[in-house]
Structures are given as structure tokens and as C-alpha cells.
Chains A and B, each alone.
Chain A
């Protein structure tokens, strides 16, 4: 029996995660992080979600605590998100939250408070090798797999982490919640970025925090072919809003130059590259090179490539990856590590 802290968002996955840890005979305490103090409608971090987590803990007869990490969330997640956009990058705030909040601050607090293990309701699995090393692997339910946003977990983090629902499909998770009579059983999945409201959207959020620059759109010959409202909001590969007046062929953003407020558009084939550099790589175990599968978005298709000296060489030419996006390396279903497109 271990002393386990379960991070509970107030959703069905972490509710069931807590129930499963309890069923395994552990001493379990539920914790909800209060991260975002502003407006939210995404089903994450709102007071009603804290209440849901608390009520589930009551149903499971375990203690529930709330940790306020909102200052750290601002510093490590929200502010970098805003400044990344200002620099024309495409940030993933969920990954930064996992990196800095859940699997750093909370991970640290788990140990400081005398707990043996941390459990979360992420859809991914942890596999322990015969030699005692651990690997993060894709969830059984590949449509819900979250291994991409957990690529930063190293041996130290994996060693005390439990992901109890990674072996279940979403349907099985919901069935279990219904069987256990948990009040979150039919709660919709949370989506999107917790601090961006569906009502007002990303543009509105950024506009309140940084000046957005109207930009010109040029084609690959340098001719001006249109304009965009905010160059900071354009992502490489984006098609929406890139069509040229009177043009019939689809156009894609192939370059975003924030300082010069210019977006270059081109044909799909103009996006194709043979390789791309990555930076800030972290590894599950040790630095890897050679043949890998590469995933460049949360639910993207893994593609074959060769990894060498912080460069990804695609087996087949691929579309450019927007700078700032996470690039995660897999071997079969195992996460080897990841970095950031640059």
C-alpha cells in the first residue's frame, strides 16, 4: 500500500483514477489545482469543477485538498503563451502546464508532503522494463491518447507516477464511473485551453494582453496578395484566411514574419520540407537517434523519420511544422522524448 496523491480536475477521468487507486488498496488523497483565476468556460479550473472534485472525494470517502498555483500558472504557462504568440510562435500551453505545474510543482509537493506516488487521469500508460527503467506509452484508447502532452516525463517523474486509466477505453472509464455512481460519470470532456473561453476565443484573449499587428500577405514572388488582421495569430500551414482575391487554388501560410508583419503564402508543395530542426529536447531515458516515429500535434498521425543531431529527417517530405509546436518521438507506442520545432 502506498500513499497516493491523485490530481483531480473534477472530470470523469481523474474521478475514476482516484477510485481505481483506492480499489488497489492505497491510501488516497484527492487534490485539485486552482490555476486560472480569470474567466473560464472550458470545463477546467472553474469553481464548479473544484466542487465536482470535492464531491467525488466525498463519494469515495477520501480527503480532498485544493492547492492554489495560480501565480505559478501565470508565470509558467499564461505569460509565456502570450509572449510566444507575440513572437509568432505556436505554443502549446497544456504541455507547459504539465511540464511546470503538474509534473514539477505538484510532483515536488507530493514528495514534500510525504506521499509515495502521484496519480493523474491522463490517457497514457507507464511501462516498466525488466531493467527497472520506465517508459511512457500510448493509451489503450488511441483516440484519447495523451502521451504527446506528457513527453517531458523523465525517469524521475515516471518512477512515482501512476496513470490508472491508461489501460481503459473512454467508454470503460464512463461505465466504471456509472457503476461507482460517481457524479461526474456523464460530465462532458473538457476541451481547449482552460484560460481561453469559447465565448470570446483566442484573439480576444491575446488582444487584451498584446498589441496585435495587422499584416500584409505576399506570395512566393514577393507580390502583395492580401492582408491579415493579426500576424501573431497566423500559424504556418494555416489555410483559413489565406485565400487570395479571385484566386481559386488553396493557399497556405508558409512563412510568418512578425517583426515585418508579413505572411507569405504558397501552394501546398511550398510547405514541404525534407527535414526540420528541433530544440530543447528531453528524453524518457537517454538521448536517442536513428529511426523514429514523429508526432507533431496532439492527435496527429505519427510519421517515419530519422533523428540525428537535433534534426528530424523525414522519410517522405512533410509540411513545415509551426515553430513552437511540440515534436514528440516514439518507437512503436513508446515515447522516447521530444522537443520543440524551431
Chain B
């Protein structure tokens, strides 16, 4: 199987699985308990907390473990709004885990530019024209296209002109590829999730910087410094910490290797298949792992079907609960016309991607597109 869907979920690193195992098989303790086993679990969670804090440039006390990216995004928006009130803003290309709570809280969705990046001008205009905007949520890198938002620029804008507005960034798709400690330094809240960078599914974190007004949504035993109650998922958190450590040491080399493979894939497909377009404008600032292309006169659903038959896993827009492909809200926000968007596909690479896989894709995709175009109406 050629796996080109790392942006959906990337394989768990073997070292991560190894680190997690004893926490299933040997250590039963609840981190909130008082005895030896509990203290062991507590220490494991705290070590993972240190690793995650180092990865994103936060203090350990600012790390709140969650069940993943969606919970972290929901919690960031609901948590700040519950405490501070006001109105949240995000852009139209955010993940639904941000869009939905922003809408539910009566928030504002601002347009993006043609690359799907949040427009600083549109943002400043909205901030100027509407009172009491408490939170801006802007993803670090987009989950469909990989385009990078100007997080530093937004942070500066808020700091200089709107100091009572907080900045949340969904860094889920950026964690494996960007130095979040540097790039997201100005953000007050940061969401990450393990399974996008070699950790397990079901383990994520929300970073809540000191001084950010926040009121928990999940209440109970007061774990995670009263910011997220519930017994910590110790094995998964240990895995998340291990993956964070691996990222710290391997990110740069991995990014360089994947950028090279991605460029080969993208450039060769454009040459091999007539009427193929890059979804993002050339020279867009983007993460290395995603090749996003539109093929004229092809339906992405059919293309993905044929790719699967030839042993290639990929995706188009984000999948909805039924598993059907929706026309992407990200591509709509970028103003890409329907015909082009309906033939789009996302090939996403990761730490296991090999040159053989890229060559396999380069063999299969042109044939599949040709087959579908023969039948296109």
C-alpha cells in the first residue's frame, strides 16, 4: 500500500508504541492518586508535559492534555468565551473544529485571500469595526492545502492595537513541520494532536499561556489544573510526549526530505498530466507534506476510487461522517471554481514516505486520470 494520506493520520512511530506499552501492561496507577503507582503515572504524565512544552515553546504548566485536536480547538474557543465573553473571529478556511464553536458563540467568519490565508487587512478592519472581540483563531497551517497563516503578523497586530484580544492557533497540521516555539510564539493558545506527528490517536494538547482568561468546559475532578477534568489517558500522553521528543530532533531533516519528495511528485504530475493545476498559487508559503492538485474533467471521488484499487490511499477534501467527499469549504473560500475544485486531490506525505511510493503514485495517477477523462461527460 502506498500511503499518501499522512495529513489525515500518520503512522505511529515504533519508539512511541514502545514507550506506551508499559503504561498499558505494567503501571495501573491513576495520576491523581496518592500511592506509589499513582506517583509513577503522575511522573510519566509530567515528563510528557515537559516534552510537549518544549516542542511548542511553552511552560509545562501551560500544557493541558486533551483527547485530540478537535477537543483542543473547541476548548480554546469555549474556554476563553466562557470566561471573558465577547465575540470570536476566525477565517473561512479553518477546520470545522474551530468554525463550529466560533459560529455557536455568535462569532464572525472573515474571508481569506486566494491562497486561503487570513487577510490581515480584513482582520484589522473587523477588529476596528466591531467592539468586544475577545478571540481570534487562525490556524498555523491549513489541513487541506498546507498554506501557512501569518501568525506572527496577527500576534503583532493584536499586541499593538487590540491588546485585549487573544490569539488561538490550531497548529495540528503544522507540528511535524514547523518550529512552533518560534513561529507561534505570539499565540496565547495553541492546539496540537499526536497522530499528525507520529504519536497515537486520542492524545492532544491545548497550550493556554499564563494570564489567558479561561473557564473549563469539562468539569469534574479538577485534573489538568482545573482546566480539563477527567483521568488522564496515561499511555497516550506518554506516546504524545515521546513523539514530541522525536520531532524536536528530527523535524528539520524530515522536512527537507519530504519537501524534496513532494516537489518531485507535484512537478512530475503537472508535466505528465495535461490540464493539471496547483490548488495554491505558486510561491505560497506552505508546509512540506501536501501536494494539492486539481485535474480538469475528473471527479476526485472517482480518482480516489481508482487509486485505491491500485493500492494508493489519498483523499480530497476532508471527509464527513458518512465517508463521502464534500466539496471543500477551504477551496470554496479560496474562490476556486466548482469544476476545478471537484477534481482536486490531496496527496500528503510523512515520515514513512519513500521514493518507491512516490514513483508508484507517478505511475498510477496519470493512467487513472486518462481513464476517467475518456469517460468524462
Which chain B residues (301-337) contact chain A, with CB distance < 8 Å? 301-302, 305-306, 309, 320-327
* Complexed CA–CA distance, A32 and B327 (Å): 17
Contact B325 A68 (CB under 8 A): yes
Q: Is B164 in the interface zone, CB < 8 Å from A?
A: no
In the bound assembly, the distance between CA atoms of A221 and B372 in angstroms comes to 62
CB contact between B324 and one of A67, A109, A113, A114 (< 8 Å): that residue: A67
Report if A143 contacts B (CB, 8 A): no
Q: Say yes or no for B24: interface residue by CB 8 A criterion.
A: no
Cβ proximity bits A84-120 to B, threshold 8 Å, 1 near / 0 not: 0000000000000000000000001101111000000
> Do A113 and B323 form a contact, CB below 8 Å, given A108-B375, A108-B377?
no
Q: A67-B301, A68-B301, A113-B306 are in contact. Are A50 and B323 (CB under 8 A)?
A: yes
B241-268: contact bitstring with A at CB < 8 Å (1 yes, 0 no)? 0000000000000000000000000000
Nearest B residue to A112 via CB reads: B375
Contacts of A175 in B (CB 8 A): none
For residue B284, CB closer than 8 A to chain A, the reply is no
A68: B residues at CB distance < 8 A? 301, 320, 324-326
The reply on A47 being an interface residue by CB < 8 A is yes
A67 to B327, CA, bound (A): 12
Within 8 A of B (CB), among A17-39: 32, 34
A-B contact list, 17 entries, CB within 8 Å: A34-B322, A50-B323, A50-B324, A65-B305, A66-B323, A66-B324, A67-B324, A68-B301, A70-B324, A71-B327, A108-B375, A108-B377, A109-B299, A111-B375, A112-B376, A114-B309, A114-B371
A71 to B328, CA, bound (A): 13
Q: Produce 1/0 per residue, B340-377, CB < 8 A to A.
A: 00000000000000000000000000000001101111
Contacts of B324 in A (CB 8 A): 34, 50, 66-68, 70
Q: State in angstroms the CA–CA spacing of A64 and B112 once bound together.
A: 36
Residue A54 lies at the interface, judged by CB distance under 8 Å to chain B: yes
- Contact across chains for B372 and A47 when beta carbons are under 8 A apart: no
Which residues from chain B contact A71 at a C-beta distance below 8 Å? Answer: 327
Q: Would B305 and A66 count as touching, CB distance under 8 A?
A: no
Contact B305 A113 (CB under 8 A): yes
Range of interface residues on B (Cβ < 8 Å): 20 to 34
> Of residues B305, B321, B326, B377, which shows the largest number of chain A Cβ atoms within 10 Å of its Cβ?
B305
| Residues of B close to A114: CB separation below 8 A | 306, 309, 371
Instruction: Point out the residues of chain A lying under 8 angstroms from B305, CB to CB.
Output: 65, 113
Q: What residues of chain B lie closer than 8 Å to A111, measured between beta carbons?
A: 375
- Residues of B close to A66: CB separation below 8 A: 322-324
Shortest distance from the beta carbon of A74 to any chain B beta carbon, whole Å: 12
Cβ-defined contact, B302 with A109, below 8 A: yes
Of the listed residues B309, B322, B323, B371, the one surrounded by the most CB atoms of chain A closer than 10 A to its CB is B322
Given contacts A66-B324, A112-B374, A114-B371, 19 further A-B contacts (CB under 8 A): A34-B322, A34-B324, A47-B321, A50-B322, A50-B323, A50-B324, A54-B323, A66-B323, A67-B324, A68-B320, A71-B327, A109-B299, A111-B375, A112-B302, A112-B371, A112-B372, A113-B302, A113-B306, A114-B306
Q: What residue of chain A has the Cβ atom nearest to residue B317's Cβ?
A: A68
In the assembled complex, the CB of A269 is this many whole angstroms from the nearest CB of chain B, namely 49
Q: Kindly state the separation between the CA atoms of A238 and B299 in the bound complex, as whole angstroms.
A: 44
Alpha-carbon distance A218/B376, docked complex (angstroms): 53
| Residues in A whose Cβ lies below 8 Å from that of B299 | 109
Considering residues A66, A111, A113, A114, which has the most beta carbons from chain B within 10 angstroms of its beta carbon? A113
Mark out the residues of chain A between 139 and 174 whose CB falls within 8 Å of any chain B CB in the assembled complex.
Answer: none
Bound together, the chains give a CA A142 to CA B98 distance in angstroms of: 53
A113: which B residues are within 8 A, CB to CB? Answer: 302, 305-306
Taking CB atoms and an 8 Å cut-off, the chain A residues in 39-84 that contact chain B are 47, 50, 54, 65-68, 70-71
Chain A positions 276-306 with a Cβ under 8 Å from a chain B Cβ: none
Chain A minimum-CB-distance residue to B326: A68
